[in-house]
Amino acid sequence: MAEYNIILTKETIRNRVKELGETISNDYNGKNLLVICMLKGAVHFFSDLIRHISTPMLVDFARVSSYKSGKTSGQIEKISDITIDVYQKDVLIIEDIVDSGNTLRYYIDKIKKSSPKTIKICTLINKPSKHKGCVKIDYVGFNLDCGYLIGYGLDFAERYRELPFVAQLTSE
Ligand code: IMP
Ligand code: MG
Better-scored residue on pLDDT, 69 or 120: 120
pLDDT of residue 73: 55
**Phi and psi dihedrals of 19, rounded to 5?**
-60, -45
For the Cβ of 103 lying below 6 angstroms from any atom of ligand 1, the answer is: yes
Report d(CA 93, CA 108) in Å as an integer.
9
Among residues of the chain, what percentage have pLDDT more than 90?
81
Query: Which protein residue has the closest C-alpha to ligand 1 atom 21?
Result: 154
Is 85 one of the annotated active-site residues of the chain? no
Considering the entire predicted model, what is its pTM? 0.94
Residue 144 has pLDDT above 60, yes or no: yes
- The arithmetic mean of pLDDT across residues 55-62, rounded, is 98
For the Cβ of 66 lying below 6 angstroms from any atom of ligand 1, the answer is: yes
**Phi and psi dihedrals of 161, rounded to 5?**
-60, -30
For the Cβ of 67 lying below 6 angstroms from any atom of ligand 1, the answer is: yes
Report d(CA 40, CA 30) in Å as an integer.
29
Residue 172 has pLDDT above 90, yes or no: no
Better-scored residue on pLDDT, 53 or 133: 53
Give the ligand at the shortest distance from the Cα of 66. 1
Strand order in the sheet with 166-171: 3-8, 166-171, 149-150
Position 37 confidence tier, pLDDT thresholds 50, 70, 90: very high
For residue range 68-88, what is the model confidence (pLDDT) as tens digits?
555 555 678 778 999 999 999
Which residue among 48, 90, 96, 99 is the active-site one? 99
pLDDT of residue 133: 65
